[in-house]
Chain A
């Protein structure tokens, strides 16, 4: 399968333009093709640009994000849980968390238009990951960007070695993409390890406990494996050092970070951490790079 994805870029190069137009602040209209709840308060939106040339040419790297806006309400950054191997449409996995997302959940449905700017950020270094085993580690909503990478890996399955997915959720009702992940596991594409913090009385066959304990379940050849982690700040606090303790080099662990990406193009300053603009140089960093930017992880 041949896939066209943007090359990884050198930040502050250019001049360059976003796929969505020469004014980087001006969103391109996109139509909601499908909207379905993954779990309560997290909805998967499938979008297609109304301009068919843009819709067909739009591509991105797994791990990049877009800014979604509803004029008059607001704009926010959302990571892409879909893969550039599937063209024409793209998806956003959105948790209800504020004014903009409330509006999305309450008032917008299939057929409505929103504005999209992007793709933004650097994305996962997929070229570097090729040929290696992958250990994907997700906590909570961190599954959203990792699902994009997972879809990419599954679509280009022969380019990657073993794929392990370790995914921790709050409870059995909060597991995102559960059926899909289980089906991938049955097909043998992915080795799936799920955990929940508590079962809350629901049927559950996976592990109960914190997500870091899943690392004890898997045996992998660390030197030929890359770890890619994505989750909330507290997740990183425990997960990253445990991966290091398992023998992972800090430059073989990648993580995707959340910050307040407002402009998405390294201008407004809100996501700056040290000399790094999370929106431009990130959101994906190696652990080594992230730990040398003191505010990046443990704040």
Chain B
């Protein structure tokens, strides 16, 4: 890891320079206070300090819907590259996003590697940007409030300058190709950086106790809390769609025109009624309460057992977007008997 300083006024020039590594994608303000990740040419549109885009970066790796395979009558089934995004520079990733990226990699880049994910992932450049939490952020509780790996370059704003952290050979390329933008970081820069970290730690207002959570959940499987959350939940799947680590998908076969068959893949959510329905009609999770419980258990128990950490990064999107106000932090407090 290397550190540099960049003058704040160089930010537009830096973003222009990033375009050499791919399509620049950054948070852009769509309506008052709502942000979306989109490809930009005009760098002045970027709002890297925006905390949460409506949809997270996962859409840059796996489109909400894309064709995987295609077959023309009389021909063979072939891979299609509908999901290919080309090289992308994701500008404005926060620490939680970068942790989420690592979780998606655990799912898609291990064992049977997913070729559709891999093609975009290997060409993704990640440029992080330091943030300040709001009332929905609880990344600190999950240990995802800082990152040491998983990005190429990370900018931490320090008033009139940035502390620039380089964490990959590609990040190193970016710095070396633009020497006029960077200078060595000074003691004052690192001092101010640490001061900022302290300020940031103190500004979290939401916290979730994850101590022994997998074991607590194991004991609380039959707790009535799940029926109560199940009564409140509409099973609309919003929380899964906006979740940076929810990556379930459905496969559908279609004949868009005569003589052509397509196998497409769409985002799916375990909260949807037919998620666990098998041929013949048996639904292994017919009750809403079962589906809600499954989602929380998958995040905080199952994923921990399989991969050693929870698949929640505390970004707060599910809290902000739930139409009935279900708050994951309160759910777990309730499970522990604290509410």
Contacts and interface: CB of A to CB of B under 8 A. Distances in A.
Q: Do A and B come from one complex?
A: yes
Interface stretch (B86-94, B120-128, B160-168, B278-286): B278-286
A72 B255 contact: yes
B112 A265 contact: yes
Contact of B276 (A13, A97, A260, A280): A260
A233 interface: yes
B69 interface: yes
Nearest to B117: A267
A259 B278 contact: yes
Nearest to B240: A269
B170 interface: no
Contacts of B284: 259-260, 273, 295, 299
A25 B69 contact: yes
Interface stretch (B145-153, B262-270, B329-337): B262-270
Contacts of A74: 253
Q: Count chain B CB atoms within 10 A of each CB in A24, A259, A267 and give the residue with the most.
A: A267
Contacts of B302: 272, 274-276
Nearest to A232: B282
Given A71-B77, A263-B251, A270 B111 contact: no
A16 B248 contact: no
A14 interface: yes
Contact of B69 (A71, A263, A274, A295): A71
Contacts, number: 129
A35 B221 CA distance: 46
Contacts of B250: 262, 268, 270
B306 A275 contact: yes
Interface in A76-100: 76, 95, 97-98, 100
Contacts of B279: 76, 97-98, 100-101
A133 interface: no
Contact of A270 (B113, B115, B262, B276): B276
Interface in A120-156: none
Interface string A2-37: 000000000111111110001111110100000000
Nearest to B221: A294
B68 interface: yes
B79 A23 contact: yes
Interface string A62-80: 0000000111111110000
Interface string A151-173: 00000000000000000000000
Contact of B277 (A11, A260, A266, A295): A260
A68 B171 CA distance: 44
A282 to B, nearest CB: 13
B14 interface: no
A26 B112 contact: no
B61 to A, nearest CB: 13
B263 to A, nearest CB: 6
Counting contact residues on chain A (CB < 8 A from B), the size range is 35 or more
A71 B261 contact: yes
A258 B282 CA distance: 10
Interface in B198-238: 221
B98 to A, nearest CB: 21
A263 B252 CA distance: 11
A249 interface: no
A16 to B, nearest CB: 6
A275 B76 contact: no
A92 to B, nearest CB: 14
B298 to A, nearest CB: 7
B254 to A, nearest CB: 7
Contacts of A266: 111-112
A26 B77 CA distance: 8
B262 A275 contact: no
A199 to B, nearest CB: 25
Given A27-B77, A275-B302, A72 B253 contact: yes
Nearest to A280: B111
Nearest to A74: B253
Interface in B89-121: 107-108, 110-116
A274 B306 CA distance: 10
A14 B282 contact: no
A101 B112 CA distance: 27
Given A12-B306, A97-B280, A299-B284, A24 B275 contact: no
Interface of A: 11-18, 22-27, 29, 69-76, 95, 97-98, 100-101, 115, 233, 258-260, 262-263, 265-276, 280, 294-295, 299
26 contacts: A12-B110, A12-B306, A14-B112, A23-B115, A24-B112, A26-B77, A26-B78, A71-B71, A72-B71, A72-B255, A73-B261, A97-B280, A115-B77, A233-B282, A259-B278, A260-B277, A266-B112, A267-B108, A267-B249, A270-B275, A272-B302, A275-B301, A275-B302, A275-B304, A280-B111, A295-B285
Closest 6 CB pairs of A and B: A72-B261, A269-B248, A275-B305, A275-B302, A265-B112, A71-B261
